[in-house]
A and B are shown apart, each in its own frame.
Chain A
Amino acid sequence: MIRILGYADRISAAPGECIQVKVSCEGLDQYDADLVRVIHGDINPSGPGYRDAPVPLDLGGPFKGRYQPIHAGSFGVVNAKPLFPAKSSLGLQAFVFPTLPGRGPQTILSRQDPQSGIGFRLYLDPEGAAALEVTAGGEKGGVVATGAPLIAERWYLISGSYDAASGALTVAQKPLKSYPWVNDADRASRTVPVNLAFADVGAPVMIAARQSTDRPATENFNGRIEAPKILSRFLPAEAMESPLDMQCEGLAAAWDFSIGIPTGQITDQSGNGLHGHLVNLPTRGVCGHAWNGDEHCWVKRPGHYAAIHFHDDDLYDCAWETDFEVRLPDDLSSGVYAVRLHGGVEEFYIPFSVRPPRGTTTAPVAFLLPTASYMAYANNRIGLDVPETEIVCGRLIQMSPIDLFMQTHPEIGLCFYDLHNDGSGVFYSSRLRPIVNMQPGHIGHLGGVGSNLWQFNADTHILGWLEHLDQPFDVIADEDLESEGSGILEGYRAVITGTHPEYYSVGMLDSLQSYLDDGGRLMYLGGNGFYWRVSFHPELPGVIECRKSEDGIRAYAPRPGEFYASFTGEYTGLWRRNGRPPNALAGIGMVSQGFDRSSPYVMKEASRDPRAAFVFEGVEGPVIGDYGLSGGGAAGLELDATDHSLGTPPHTLVLASSERHSDLYLMTPEDMDDPAPGLGGSEAEIIRAEMVFFETPGGGAVFSTGSIAWCGSLSHANYENDVARITTNVLRRFLDEKPFTPAPG
C-alpha cells in the first residue's frame, strides 16, 4: 500500500527559484521531507546499487499528513446563471455520441442543487436510455426516460422539455442514422406538477456531469457532446427533435464547441454570455456529427469539429493545496534532484531538474532530461491493462507495490500508452498529478530481463556513469528546450540524451537541430528517440498532447479526421511522417522493439576508419556489450538503425551493429507496407541496433548507439568495460574543442 503521494508545480527550476510541493497522505499523520541529488536509482543487487546524495537543506518538516483526493472525469462548468422567467418552461437539446451507455447514469446537461435536488438534468440513465429530470425539490417533480438504450458510438439528437402550463415532461432520442430492426429512436412523456420552480437554484450549469455534495462533479459522461442548448420556453416535441436554430425564440444558452478548440473555454452563442470553462481536459478537435471526410484539419473547418469528447477518467490537474515550498539554494549545482517524502516505512520521490542559473552554463556538457517522454509514460498501465505485455516481454509481469497501487487507484490518470475507459485513445498527459512510475528505485515492465528499468529510472544509469567519471554536467529538461529554444544549449560543447527520448515537440527538435547546425555535438545514448511529435499547450502548464496518427508502434489509432493536435493545430504522428525523421538528426531511427533479452554489438568495418579511431581507443572487440542490467546486453529493448531513404547522412559511419535478436523483436508497422513471413529478430535483417558516428557541417558531430539498453551496460565490472570505454571516449573527444574535420565532399 502506498500511503504517501505527491507532485510539484514544476519539473525544472533554477537555483534560487521555488518549487511548490503538494502531498497527500492516507493513514499517515505526519511525514518528513528532504532534498536529494539522484545518482543511481537502480536497486538491482547485480549492479552498483542505489545511490543518492542528501542536500543539507531544511525543508521545514515534519509536516502534518492530510488526505487530498483526486477527482478524475472531465466536464464543463458555466457559473453565470441562465435566465428563466417565473413559472418557466424548459427545453434542452444536444447532439450526443455515447461511448459507454449503460455504465451508470451519465449526465449530458444539468443544473441541479446537489443538496435539494432542485433543478434539471438531461442524462442517460443506468440502462443507457435518454432521461430527463425536472424538480422543484422533494416530491415536486419527476423523471421521464425512454427506456430504449442508446447504441454506443452512434450519433443521436437528444432532447427534453418541460411544459410549465400542462406539466408535460418529455424526453426523446433520435438517431442520426437508423437501421432496419433497430429500434433506438424513442420518445417518452409523463405529466408532473405544473409550474415547478426548478430554476430557483444557485447551482452552475454543468455539461457532461452533475454537481455533487462530496466532489466537484459526478455521473460524468463518456462520449461526445455537441451543440448543447437550453431553451427557457416550451416547444412541442416535433420541434425539439430537430436541431434548434440560433434564432429560436427563448434560447437561453447555446454552446458552440467549435470556438476556442485549443482552449479550456466554452462559448455561448445565444447572446446571453453564458460562457464557461472545461475541467480536466476533455478531448477537443474531434469530429462532430457533421464530419464527412471532406476536411481532416479542424483549423480549416471548425464546424465539423464542434464536439467535445468527455471521459470519466480524464485528469489534468489534481489541484491539490501546496503543503510546503522548497526554495532552491542559490549555489545548488545543476543536476537531477528529488524531494523525498518519507514517513514510517513509506517513501515517495518527486524528481525535477535543477538547471544552471538562467543565462549561464556551469559545465561543458548538458544532459537532456527527457521530461516530455516521462510525461508520455506517466502512470502507464502497460503491465496492468495490456495482456500481450507478458508475451512481448518473454516473461511473467512483475507487480511492484506501485503497480498494485495503480491497479486499485486508476484515478491517478492515464498516458499515451493507455485507453480511456471507453476504449478511446489518450491524447493528453499531464504532470500536475502524482507520477508514481517516475521515481528513483522504480522497477518497470519493459526494461528487459535484469533491472527492468524504463525512462526516468533507466536514465539514472547515465547519471551514475557521469558521477562515476566525476564529470561536471548541467541538466536541461525538455520543457526548458521547448520554452527557451536553442539558446539554452549554446554554451555546451556536447549534449547527452536519455535512454529513450521518444517524444519531441517541434520547438525541442528545432532547438536541438540548430544547436547541431551551429557546431554542437550530440551523444544519443538511447533508442526509439525523436519518434512522436508532441505539442505543449500554449497556455496550460505541465501538459502535452500526442496523437499517434498514420502509423508507428502505438497503443491505439486515433479516429480518421482526428490527426491534428487540438492544442496547436499541428499535424501529429511520427516525425518521419512530418518531414523530420530521426535519421536526419541522429543518423538512425526506430526499427524494432522487444523486451526480453538484449544482444551484443559486433564491430563493423567502419570502426577501423581513422575518423572513428577515437571511439575505440582501448577497446578490443569485436563483440561489445554481451552484458548489462537491461536485458543482459547493450543492444536491446528498442532499436534504431540507419536508413538513407529517411535522411541518414551519406557519410555516416556504422561502427557496430547487433546481429541477432529473439523473435519477440518485430518489424515496425511504418516499415511494413506489405507483410511477408520472417518479420522477427531471428530472420529480419532490418532488426538491429546500429552504432553510428558522423560529423556535421558546422564542425560538430553526432554519436548514436541506437539502443535503449546501451546505458544498462555502462556500470558492468565497476564501469570497466567496452561500453563504458566507448561512451567515455566519445564524451572526452566531444568535449575537446578541436573541430571535427568535415567529411570529404
Chain B
Amino acid sequence: MSRYRITQDDLRHAAEFRADPLGMPSPGLQRVLNLLRGGPKSGKYVLVVAEPFRRWILGRLPAERGQPVELLDGMEFTDLAEAEWAVFKLRWKAHTGKDLEQEL
C-alpha cells in the first residue's frame, strides 16, 4: 500500500494517463498509479469479460474466496483504454474527493 497522497502537481500525470492509459508511464505517473491501483482486494475494480477482446463490464472483487464478483450495472466498455480512464477517475475521486474531468 502506498503512503503517497495526490497533490495538484499530479494533474499533469492524470493528463499523461488520459493520453495513453496503456503506455509506459513516467515515474511521476507511476507513483500515482501505485496509489490508485494499490487498494486492497475487497472492492477492487476488475473488468468482467462479456465478450473476449470486445466488451467488458466493470465489477468489484469480493472480500472472501467463494463470494461472487459484483457487477456494476451500466459500466460497460468496448475499449480497454476507456475503461482504464473511467476507473482512474473513480479512484481519483475516492482519494481526493474531486472530479478529475472538472480539474483538468
A binds B: yes
B13 shortest CB reach to chain A, Å: 14
Digit string of A380-420 for contact with B (CB within 8 Å is 1, else 0)? 01011111101100111111110010011110000000000
With A384-B61, A387-B40, A388-B38 as given contacts, are A662 and B53 in contact (CB-CB < 8 Å)?
A: no
Residues of A in contact with B (beta carbons under 8 Å apart): 43-46, 381, 383-388, 390-391, 394-401, 404, 407-410, 421, 443, 449, 596-597, 662-664, 682
CB pair A391–B41 under 8 Å, yes or no, is no
Please give me the residue from chain B that is nearest to A381 by CB atom. B65
CA distance A44 to B48 in the complex (A): 17
List chain B residues, Cβ under 8 A from A399.
46-49, 59, 69
List chain A residues, Cβ under 8 A from B87.
396
CB pair B69–A395 under 8 Å, yes or no, is no
Interface size grouping (class) on chain B: 35 or more
CB pair B24–A395 under 8 Å, yes or no, is no
Q: Which of B4-12, B27-35, B96-104 is found at the contact surface with chain A?
A: B27-35
CB pair B65–A43 under 8 Å, yes or no, is no
CB pair B49–A407 under 8 Å, yes or no, is no
Please give me the residue from chain A that is nearest to B38 by CB atom. A391
B56 at the interface (CB under 8 A from A): yes
CB pair A397–B66 under 8 Å, yes or no, is no
B18 at the interface (CB under 8 A from A): no
Given pairs A399-B46, A407-B66, 17 additional interface contacts (CB within 8 A): A45-B53, A385-B65, A386-B41, A387-B39, A387-B41, A394-B25, A395-B21, A395-B22, A397-B47, A398-B47, A398-B56, A400-B49, A404-B68, A407-B61, A597-B22, A663-B27, A663-B30
With A395-B84, A404-B69 as given contacts, are A387 and B38 in contact (CB-CB < 8 Å)?
A: yes
Instruction: Return the contact of B34 from the options A391, A404, A407 (Cβ within 8 A).
Output: A391
List chain A residues, Cβ under 8 A from B92.
none
With A407-B65, A408-B67, A662-B25 as given contacts, are A396 and B46 in contact (CB-CB < 8 Å)?
A: yes
CB pair A443–B52 under 8 Å, yes or no, is yes
B3 shortest CB reach to chain A, Å: 15
Per DSSP, chain A at the interface is loop
CB pair B41–A398 under 8 Å, yes or no, is no
CB pair B47–A410 under 8 Å, yes or no, is no
Please give me the residue from chain A that is nearest to B43 by CB atom. A387
Please give me the residue from chain B that is nearest to A388 by CB atom. B38
B14 at the interface (CB under 8 A from A): no
Residues 61-77 (chain B) with a chain A CB within 8 angstroms: 61-62, 65-69
B59 shortest CB reach to chain A, Å: 6
B35 shortest CB reach to chain A, Å: 10
A390 shortest CB reach to chain B, Å: 5
Instruction: Return the contact of B49 from the options A45, A387, A401 (Cβ within 8 A).
Output: A401
Instruction: Return the contact of A597 from the options B21, B24, B48 (Cβ within 8 A).
Output: B24
B95 at the interface (CB under 8 A from A): no
Instruction: Return the contact of B22 from the options A381, A394, A407, A443 (Cβ within 8 A).
Output: A394
List chain A residues, Cβ under 8 A from B37.
390-391
List chain A residues, Cβ under 8 A from B45.
396
List chain B residues, Cβ under 8 A from A682.
27
B64 shortest CB reach to chain A, Å: 9
B48 shortest CB reach to chain A, Å: 5
CB pair B44–A398 under 8 Å, yes or no, is no
List chain B residues, Cβ under 8 A from A395.
21-22, 80, 84
With A390-B44, A398-B46 as given contacts, are A44 and B53 in contact (CB-CB < 8 Å)?
A: yes
List chain A residues, Cβ under 8 A from B39.
387
Closest 5 CB pairs of A and B: A410-B65, A387-B41, A662-B24, A391-B37, A390-B37
Ordered by A's residue number, 15 sampled pairs between the chains whose C-beta atoms are within 8 Å are: A43-B52, A387-B38, A391-B37, A399-B47, A399-B48, A399-B49, A401-B49, A404-B48, A404-B69, A407-B68, A408-B68, A409-B66, A596-B22, A662-B25, A664-B30
